[in-house]
Amino acid sequence: MSAMLAASTTSTGEAVQFWVLGTVAVIGALSTVLMRKAVHSALSLAGTMIVLAVFYLANGAYFLGIVQIVVYTGAIMMLFLFVVMLVGVTAADSLHETLKGQRWLAVLCGLGFGILLCAGIANASLKTWNGTGTANAGGNVEGLAELIFTKYVFAFEITGALLITAAVGAMVLTHRERVEGRKSQREQSQDRARRGIPGQPAPSGSGWPLVTPAPAPGVYARHNAVDIPGLLPDGSTAEVSVNATLRERGQIRDVSGRALAALAELERRAGDWRQQRGGTGATVVRTDPSGSTRYRPEGGATVYTPEDEAGRQSADRPADDGANDGHAPEGAAK
Amino acid sequence: MENLIGLLVAAPLLGAAVLLCGGRALDRVGHWLGTALAGVSFLIGAVLFADMLGEETSDRALHSHLFSWIPVGGFRADVGFQLDQLSMTFVLLITGVGTLIHIYSIGYMEHDERRRRFFGYLNLFLAAMLLLVLADNYLLLYVGWEGVGLASYLLIGFWQHKPSAATAAKKAFIVNRVGDVGLSIAIMLMFTTFGTFAFAPVLSEADRAGEGKLTAIGLMLLLAACGKSAQVPLQSWLGDAMEGPTPVSALIHAATMVTAGVYLITRSGAIFNAAPDAQTAVVTVGAVTLLFGAIVGCAKDDIKKALAGSTMSQIGYMILAAGLGPIGYVFAIMHLVTHGFFKAGLFLGAGSVMHAMNDEVDMRKYGGLRRYMPITFATFGLGYLAIIGFPGLSGFWSKDKIIEAAFAKGGTEGWILGAATLLGAAITAYYMTRVMLLTFFGEKRWQPAPDPHKTAGIEPGAEAHPGELPHPHESPKSMTIPMIVLAFGSVFAGGLFSLNDAFVNWLEPVTGHDHGDSPLSAATVTAGTMVVLVVGVALAWAQYGRRPVPVTAPRGSALTRAARRDLLQDDFNHVVLVKPGEYLTRGLDRVDHTLVDGAVNGAAASVGGLSGRLRKLQNGYARTYAVSMFGGAAVLIAATLLMRAV
Amino acid sequence: MNPVNYLYLASLLFTIGAAGVLLRRNAIVVFMCVELMLNACNLAFVAFSRLHGNLDGQIVAFFTMVVAAAEVVVGLAIIVTVFRSRHSASVDDASLMKL
């Protein structure tokens, strides 16, 4: 190819490459336009760009081909994907047109425009061409560099200024002005005493805001998973101990009743066992740290009822309750 | 001496400015200040007159250029004064009679709380009139002309709380506007014809312009004169102008305002001399008006309105004389001066009578006043003798000459004009005798004073007690002295002027003079005048002297009834001018509402509707805009390709 | 094969990108379509470079890339800002340019 001057046709290999990859590029472009999800559009576009990079290489623009891949596909498309993620990756656009006549007009204008462009190109009737052989003789990158730093040096400087401006502009656009000073720790604690913890409801029935740090989940409960509320001294659950998001979704698992019931069952079985084997091992039960003895007489009966369980917890109750339950006898046994 | 000319105008103008802007602080001295400044103006006039008498006849005219007023390209308007014999005559008349009327007003307006303002207006009136007669070009004359109109408006409507006075003032102003339009058109025509409107070039080159143009200018000037001098057909304002205080009437009728028209025509004599058609129009107007005014004067019972009719008639004489050309100019001015004396005297006398009779103006409720008001009677009587042309008195000399001049016009025209003036003289004798008899002779027909609460706007100063008969008394000295002075003028002025043809010689350099070719000798005319005079007096005596006069006017003949309504002048104006005007405005209003408004609103509605449609293109969706942009790009490509293909 | 075919491909891609700008409401996708149009132009420039036998077309394509990078930075910042304030990335929702 480098020897070609005023050639009239390319190599067959390039022709094959063009028709195959050109089809891919067009399909990618159409997918970009027609895919409902922005992520798919972005990926299609990236594919098209890679094809274009290959075309650049085929046309002797080696530097541009690499830059196309690095800058476009590597940087710009990733920026796109980043923003798509930021804005919401799951949302699929409706392709239903809301503007009256917009689709027809767009298609009409597109067809007219494309036909006119093609007509213009065909009108030019370029039969021969020069090829980049002589231009690339000293190396493509060197040739470009020579042009950039001589003939186009002003444009180059100006694009530098443009890039800086764009960077600053993007920062200014996304910058959120802080309208009041940052609060000190003292002020934060004072605010909390005054209004309670932001996002935390007052403990039910108290009428007072929650001023202390919220209790950790699972305290006094048999589990310390984040979706299991801590227990208050009277055995009721402290919902503030659970993450607000889970609380909003209703994904709180109250397993306290189940644990007590399991403990009661264990003790019943232990009693049976003692009755069968004589009165040994009773001290093991007494050393149980959960204070479950206090709840045993009434807690097992009142807290754990099937109806109560169904009413308090939603239907999406995790299926791994059994695994969790399995820990309680172990803990109790220790 | 030239510098003094400006002072002539400046003195009363200063008085007007000080009095009108000075505020209440000047209330106590305002009338003295106004009178003093009028007197100063008269003194300056007298000094200038003496100076002028000392000069050679050919060298008497003074000229004083003050400043260039509007120098724009070829258009050049200057403020300059010209004092020649004609202006001098007017200056003396205006300032002299004006000063006397000022003095009279001190007494007459004594009880009016707005007296200071009144004197301010009087001074303004004098200043405007002096500017009018002293201007050396038509544009400056126009300024004075308008100033006179303004001052007359202010003074006629001085008792503005009376609706009748306010209406009369408006009427005078509006009718005068018609004449003013004539003057402005005349000035424009002059400018297009001569390229200037200064007296000297216009009048010296008048005969070089075409007769058609001169006739047009002359007719426009005549229209102006008709407005200011209350000549038919613009006479209707004069009678109503009697709503103003009596001194104002005296001033308007004797010294200022109505004489302006005569001045204008005499001053523009060169134009009229070269436009015989315009002259014919002038004499026609004069003849018609002198009879019109005289007939109106016969029927009026209101003493001031009878005198107003008389004024109209006498001004008609002057206009007629001025229309006769060089034969009559001098006599027009001479009659103007003598008339100024006796008419001022008559009006002041009438004011004195009204003052004595609780502001009663109906002559049928006077009678036998000669014993109660001897000075008024004597001065009024001398004025009366002067106006009817009693031999030896002022009116005799001037009016007789006009009648002679009318005959001297020659031909059929001369005979008709002469007959008209003679008839006018007879009627003048009749109605003036009637006024005299009704007022001062016969038995008392006094009526109890009207209730001031019922008749709004009685002249302030009348100590009227409702229900009481008036107690006529002689007026204070400030009023009687001017009357006496004017009576002297009425008696001797004409004689003095005629001594050795003094007045003719005096004015001839300005106006020119021509004895004409009278078919009748002067003695014959005088004899004829005497005959008609005696006939007029005798008729009046037969009707009002021998028989007792009814207090309420009899129904009278159709002519009398018409004359009481000013010969239907207002009805005529109403039908001919007001009604068509109303129809025209109504029609225009309809056209405005339907056609013009329709076009405007239709245009607005169509633009609005179109915009409403176009607005839908601007739907705010960026994609819609992008489509149009993209389509535009496609069109551009198509255009480029087409151009290349071509 | 004639390299002019690259020009036809470029105009096809350009038209598809333009149609996408007109048809899609999601501002990010619209922006991607704009990038597609820019790339189509770049392809045309590169093809021109080859046809002419000099490197000026590639220089222009290079500058286009730089400018496109700057444009993407600012454009995406705008989209993020708009999304932050309106909770929508639809270009139709930002239809404030009307009465």
pLDDT (tens digit per residue) in A95-127? 777 788 888 888 899 999 999 888 888 877 677
pLDDT at A304: 41
Mutation to test the C interface, candidates B614, B618, B623, B641, most C Cβ within 10 Å: B623
Q: Write the DSSP assignment of A218-274 as a string of letters.
A: TTTSS---TTS-EE-TTS-EEGGGS-HHHHHHT-----HHHHHHHHHHHHHHHHHHH
Chains with at least 3 CB pairs less than 8 angstroms from chain A: B, C
Task: Please tell me the predicted confidence (pLDDT) of residue B282.
Answer: 93
- pLDDT exceeds cutoff 90 at B368: no
Question: From the CA of B607, how many Å to the nearest CA of chain A?
Answer: 25
pLDDT of residue A319: 43
Q: What is the pLDDT of residue B197?
A: 85
Q: For residues B72 and B578, what is the distance between their CA atoms, to the nearest angstrom?
A: 40
Report the residue of chain C nearest B612, measured CA to CA. Answer: C99
Res A201: pLDDT: 58
* B323 and B282 Cβ atoms separated by less than 8 Å: yes
pLDDT at B589: 93
Percent of chain A with pLDDT over 90: 21
Confidence category of residue A46, pLDDT binned at 50, 70, 90: very high
What's residue C99's pLDDT?
Answer: 55
Pairwise pLDDT comparison (B460 vs A224), residue with the higher score: A224
Between helix C4-23 and helix A102-124 the angle, nearest 10°, is: 170
Average pLDDT over residues B322-339: 90
pLDDT score of A220 = 65
Whether residues A55 and C70 touch (CB distance < 8 A) is answered with: no
| Chain C interface test: which of B611, B615, B617, B621 (most C C-beta within 10 Å) | B621
Q: What is the structure's pLDDT at B155?
A: 92
Answer yes or no: is pLDDT of B513 > 60.
yes
Res. B58: pLDDT tops 60: yes
Residues in chain A with CB shorter than 8 Å from the CB of C94 are: none
- Report the DSSP pairing between strands B75-83 and A230-231: unpaired
Query: Interhelix angle for B502-511 vs B477-498, to 10°?
Result: 80
Q: Residue A73 — pLDDT band, cuts 50, 70, 90?
A: confident
Minimum mean pLDDT among B54-68, B92-106, B142-156, B284-298: which range? B54-68
Distance between B589 CA and the closest CA of chain A, angstroms: 49
Q: Is A167 in Cβ contact with C1 (below 8 Å)? A: no
Distance CA B270, CA B217 (A): 12
Phi, psi dihedral angles at A324 (to 5 degrees): -65, -40
Q: What is the rounded CA–CA span in Å between residue A306 and residue A156?
A: 76
Q: Which residues 48-107 of A have a C-beta within 8 angstroms of C? A: 48-49, 52, 55-56, 59-61, 63-64, 67-68, 71-72, 75-76, 79-80, 83-84, 86-87, 93-94, 97-99, 102-103, 105-107
The pLDDT assigned to B236 comes to 86
Nearest CA in chain A to C72: A76
Contacts of C91 in chain B (CB under 8 A): 621-623
- B630 with C98: Cβ contact below 8 A: no
The confidence score (pLDDT) of residue B44 equals 92
CA–CA separation, A238 and A215 (whole Å): 8
- Over pLDDT 90: what percentage of chain B? 36
Residue A85 has pLDDT above 50, yes or no: yes
Q: In the prediction, which pLDDT does B570 show?
A: 81
Closest CA of chain C from B70, distance in Å: 55
- Which B residues, 577 through 606, put their C-beta within 8 Å of a C-beta on chain A? none
More confident residue, A301 or B247: B247
pLDDT number for residue A75: 86
How close C95 gets to chain A, by Cα (Å)? 12
- Is B441's pLDDT higher than 90? no
Give the other-Cβ count within 10 Å of A104's Cβ. Answer: 11
Distance from CA of C34 to the nearest CA of A (A): 11
Residue A162 C-alpha, separation from nearest chain B C-alpha, in angstroms: 25
Q: Which chains have 3+ CB pairs within 8 A of B?
A: A, C
Give the helix ranges, DSSP H, for B441-499.
Answer: 477-498
Cβ–Cβ below 8 Å for B621 and C92: yes
CB of C69 less than 8 A from some CB of B: no
Instruction: Give me the mean pLDDT over the A12-17 stretch.
Output: 89
Which of A5, A117, A174 minimises the CB distance to C11? Answer: A117
- Average pLDDT of every residue of chain B: 87
Q: What is the pLDDT of residues B469-508, one digit of tens each?
A: 777 888 888 888 888 998 988 888 888 888 878 888 888 8
Is the pLDDT at A132 greater than 80, yes or no? no
Residue A174: per-residue pLDDT: 84
Chains that touch C (3 or more CB pairs under 8 A): A, B
Choice between A184 and A90, residue whose per-residue pLDDT is larger:
A184
What pLDDT was estimated at residue B145? 93
Would you state the pLDDT for residue B460?
46
Task: Assess whether pLDDT exceeds 80 at residue A128.
Answer: no
Neighbours of A242 (CB within 10 A): 25
pLDDT of residue A89: 62
pLDDT in tens, A164-218: 999 999 999 888 877 888 888 888 878 777 776 655 555 555 556 666 777 777 7
Band the pLDDT of C80: cuts 50, 70, 90: confident
Instruction: Please state the domain extents for chain A.
Output: 215-278
B67 forms beta bridges with: B79
Question: Closest by alpha carbon to B261, among B227, B236, B225, B221?
Answer: B225
CB B329 within 8 A of CB B322: yes
Among candidates B621, B633, B641 on the partner chain, residue whose Cβ is nearest the Cβ of A113:
B633
Q: How confident is the model at residue A8 (pLDDT cuts 50, 70, 90)?
A: low
Between these two residues, A290 and A61, which has the higher pLDDT value? A61
Strand, helix or coil for residue C88 = coil
Residue A74 has pLDDT above 50, yes or no: yes
Q: What's the pLDDT at A324?
A: 44
Residue C84 — pLDDT band, cuts 50, 70, 90?
confident
Q: What local confidence, expressed as pLDDT, does residue A31 receive?
A: 93
ipTM above 0.85, yes or no: yes
Residue A55: its pLDDT value, please?
A: 93
Q: Give C8-32 pLDDT, tens digit per residue.
A: 999 999 999 999 999 888 888 999 9
B619 touches chain C (CB under 8 A): yes
Q: Which of A96-105, B449-458, B625-634, C2-11 has the lowest mean pLDDT?
A: B449-458
Q: Domains plus CATH for chain C?
A: 4-86 (1.10.287.3510)
* B340 close to B254: Cβ distance less than 8 angstroms: yes
In terms of phi and psi (left: phi > 0; alpha: psi -120 to 50; beta: otherwise), the region of B89 is alpha
Q: Is C29 on the interface with B (CB under 8 A)?
A: no
B:C CB pairs within 8 Å = 30
Report d(CA B319, CA B222) in Å as an integer: 9
- DSSP one-letter code for B458: P
Read off the pLDDT of each residue in B545-552 and give the average, rounded to a whole number. Answer: 79
Candidates C32, C71, C80; nearest CB to A174: C80
The whole-number pLDDT of residue A1 equals 45
Contact B215/B189 with Cβ under 8 angstroms?
no
- My answer on whether omega of the bond before B548 falls inside 30° of 0, hence cis, is no
Each residue's pLDDT tens digit, B262-311: 999 999 998 998 888 999 999 999 999 999 999 988 888 888 889 999 99
pLDDT beyond 80 at B551: no
Q: A232, A238 in Cβ contact below 8 A?
A: yes
Distance from the Cα of A68 to chain B's closest Cα (Å) equals 27
Residue B518 pLDDT level (bands cut at 50, 70, 90): confident
Please give the residue of chain B at the shortest CA–CA distance from C91.
B622
